[in-house]
């Protein structure tokens, strides 16, 4: 069985996330998603999520491409995850290109292109702008 792992926050789940998960799953038989915990997001990334870790985990577990969701609690855990779960392929978006090449001696490392014109940051910015203008989300 070929195991694939990817990492992320997956807040405000959108079609770009689904595309990434689908493409990651196509690279193997079993997809592990390491989901950033609320504490890790705040302490290491200065990010506050809209949805809690547990809610984001429930959403990911409902996606047919995802076989297992584990917590991401630190930047350093990637190597230990690759070893513990006997990962064959490590996948990240191409905005991380080169950052995880140190894992290449333990598994294949692939950077997938991001889905154009969508990101959680963009969604939050658009919603905030609409709120400031007093518009409904549909406008």
pTM for this prediction:
0.86
The residue-averaged pLDDT of 10-27 equals: 93
51-78 pLDDT per residue, tens: 999 999 999 999 999 999 999 999 999 9
Integer Cα distance of 45 and 40 in angstroms: 7
The residue-averaged pLDDT of 22-50 equals: 94
Cα atoms in the 13 Å half-sphere on the side-chain side of 124: 11
Taking the CA atoms of the chain, what radius of gyration do you get in angstroms?
16
Nearest alpha-carbon partner for 45 in 17, 7, 98, 93: 7
Q: Which residues are catalytic?
A: 45, 47
Integer Cα distance of 73 and 19 in angstroms: 24
Per-residue pLDDT band for 48 (boundaries 50, 70, 90) equals confident
Give SS3 for 52. Answer: coil
Q: In what side-by-side order are the strands of the sheet with 108-112?
A: 68-72, 30-36, 3-8, 89-93, 108-112
């Amino acid at each position: 069985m070929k195991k694939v792992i990817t990492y992320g926050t997956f807040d405000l789940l959108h079609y770009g996330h689904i595309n990434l998960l689908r493409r990651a799953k196509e690279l193997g038989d079993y997809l592990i998603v390491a989901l950033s915990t609320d504490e890790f997001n705040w302490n290491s990334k200065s990010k506050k999520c809209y949805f809690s870790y547990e809610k984001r985990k429930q959403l990911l577990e409902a996606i047919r491409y995802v076989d297992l969701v584990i917590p991401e609690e630190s930047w350093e855990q990637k190597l230990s995850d690759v070893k513990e779960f006997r990962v064959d392929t490590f996948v990240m978006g191409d905005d991380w290109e080169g950052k995880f090449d140190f894992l290449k001696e333990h598994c294949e490392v692939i950077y997938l292109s991001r889905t154009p014109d969508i990101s959680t940051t963009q969604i939050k910015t658009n919603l905030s702008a609409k709120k400031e203008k007093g518009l409904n989300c549909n406008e």
